[in-house]
Amino acid sequence: MSIHNSLRSSAALGAKRNVLKRQERVEVLKRRKEWREGDRVFNLKKTKFVA
């Protein structure tokens, strides 16, 4: 019996995520010097992912 397409994991499908996790957004903001150690991790600025 095969598995339905909607039930497969995204890793198996090779789909690219279009949303960054909080830690990834913090790393992007650190590189842009828009976030420093000690700043809050809530209500972060929106970031666009550039590969």
Q: What pLDDT sits at residue 16?
A: 72
Question: How is the chain split into domains, by residue range?
Answer: 19-51
Q: What pLDDT sits at residue 8?
A: 73
Residue found under tokens 């828009």 = 34
Q: What pLDDT sits at residue 26?
A: 92
Tell me phi and psi for residue 5, to 5 degrees.
-55, -35
Sign of the Cα pseudo-torsion (12, 27, 47, 42, in order): positive
Q: What pLDDT sits at residue 11?
A: 57
Q: For residue range 1-46, what is the model confidence (pLDDT) as tens digits? A: 788 887 876 555 566 777 889 999 999 999 999 989 998 888 888 8
Question: What is the pTM assigned to this prediction?
Answer: 0.60
Query: Where do the H-state alpha helices sit in 1-51?
Result: 10-13, 22-31
